[in-house]
A and B are shown apart, each in its own frame.
Chain A
Amino acid sequence: MKIAVLVKQVPGSESPLPMVSSQDWLDESQVAYIMNESDNYALEEALQIREKNNDGEVVIISLGPNRIQKVIREALSKGADRAIHIQTDGSYPTDPLVTASLFSETLKDENFDLIFSGLQSDDLGFGQTGVLLGELLNMSTATLAMSTEIIDNKIKVKRELEAGYFQWVTMSLPASISVQSGCNTPRYPSLKGIMGAKKKEINVITPPVMDQNQSIKKIYAPNSAKETVMVEGSVDQIVEKLVNIFRNEIKIT
């Protein structure tokens, strides 16, 4: 079984997000990057399938500037076999169709049985790259996977639906599956894994330039619609004020 995992590097949830003066992107020099949360689950799902079948290959695919090699190495140290880095110079495209098209151009001759991706990137949050790629490669697709099972030449996926419902969907391979967070317990890299990752291959590819169908005009901070009471002071003062609010304003008896 040959499995690709799309792994994206994104700002960590506690990272500052300062903007460049043209207000159309972040000042990346001040951003602390991590592996996209759901991609970490996607990687774990792929590694477990390879281990269960006792053969096959897990290949990390990532698109972006040089800084993304940090998460590529992290994925390799968790046990992925090799990686393809689609190298862009500035940042990454802000059109998911362009991203997916670059992935499909790169992957079309690799003939993967499975592609795993996260359901949503924590930066741009388009929520569609894995499905776009699957469709471009004429694969079966499924989203919001909570667990997967390989049966013969098919994959059975437990999908999350709205309002607490789930559904099993079975499809033939090749398939592109985007996973929901919480579907497994992602591993940490071992020391041996970290050492071994240094020797693994990262194939760097320069993609063609493509026209975008959508582009970011401006990025800005939201402003609050609601009137919010700020509860301020020392910890003791805050506690006193909160108790007062609970009793006298919200009227908790």
Chain B
Amino acid sequence: MNPQILARLRDLCRDEAAFEQIRQILADEVQHLDQEVNQANSRVEQQKALFSVIARLREPLDLEKIFKATATEVRQLLKADRVGMFRFYPNLGWDDGEFVSEDVDQAFPSAIAQKIHDHCFGDQFAVHYQQGRIQAVADIYNYGLSDCHIEILAQYQVRANLVVPLLQGQNLWGLLCIHQCRAPREWQATEIEFATQIASHLGVALQHAELLADLKEEVLERQQAEQTVQALNQGLQRAIIELQTVNKELEAFSYSVSHDLRAPLRSIDGFSQALLEDYHDHLDVTGQDYLRRIRAATQQMGQLIDDLLNLSRLMRTEMLLQPVDLSLLASEICTELQQSQPERQVEFVLQAGLLAQGDLRLLRVMLVNLLNNAWKFTSKHTQARIELGATVQENGIRVYFVRDDGAGFDMTYANKLFGPFQRLHSMKDFPGNGVGLATVQRIVYRHGGRVWAEGAVEQGATFYFTLVAEEAGV
């Protein structure tokens, strides 16, 4: 006690015995106060440590750094020999785990990164820890611990330990272990409370880490998805470029066909005609007939080349999709057909208001071909009927049809109908070049639809077509 205060007290007390009593009372009181001050100081220190743990949680540090700093701080504050974070291996029950972080006095062995198999810990202990149980052991040899448990603790020279669960949300993630190695230790209530608070804040850090990991995984997944999309796009780009190249080649090819294939035909035809004109007298009737046949054939071939070019042009021109009134188009075409042969008796039955989404020019070409066919193949009948209509398929897709009651065809050859230059009738009966239905098919395909036909000899034909893509497998 302060000697100056004691000197003043002695001056005030005339009685030596009374002074001694007062001194004793004061001494007791001061000691008590000292203790309280000490306790308050250590609480302040603990609070400071807690704050720094909390502050660290706000910083974007990884778990490893948070654990390490916290272990160091807690060990200093509690004057413990070892503070470690023990982690259970996920999905392996609660028997196995390892210390993932620690701060340890140099005099004692490190417990870190040593796999620990504690078969006596197991589910039973885990359940308790999960419910927040804290184990405070003053002396491991005097606490009723199982032999195997003591054995494990003894490996690390533990004499006393304070174990608090580390929970990640509801799950037992691991344990905060505070070891005293040099001697047994009675753990104070304030120390236990401090350790509990530290553990609960570490729990928050664990949850943050989990969220962060989830987030990173999600980001990664998105990046991978993006890469996949990019790869797909690149593939598409390549395919487009390839298609463009093929298209250009096709254009160059048909340009060359257009120029070069027709030129020799002109020579053949021209000089055949020259022969007929200039050498008429030298040729008998058969010779003249041969020359006429040559000319007819060259002209036919010229026509075939033109048809082929038209067909390939149909496939190359860009499509402009818009609503198209098929009924209106058909009605215009039928009027033209009737005007071309006014004497024919043909009844046109056109369903009104048949709208389709498509390229007006291409759809017109398609209908011209279908209706021309119907007109041509009914020409041997004195009375005929040509119909345009539509039905709806089970899958909701509209099927259009052009029907006639003319010459029809043998269904055996139905698969040949749409091939270019395929003809099912003799040139003499029904003239034609065999590209009409091939043209129809290409136009339908370009719209994503399909086309097929039904018919019977002398019982007419029906051509069905759709103009939208159907789901695969339908």
- Chain B binds chain A: no
Contacts from A to B (Cβ < 8 Å): none
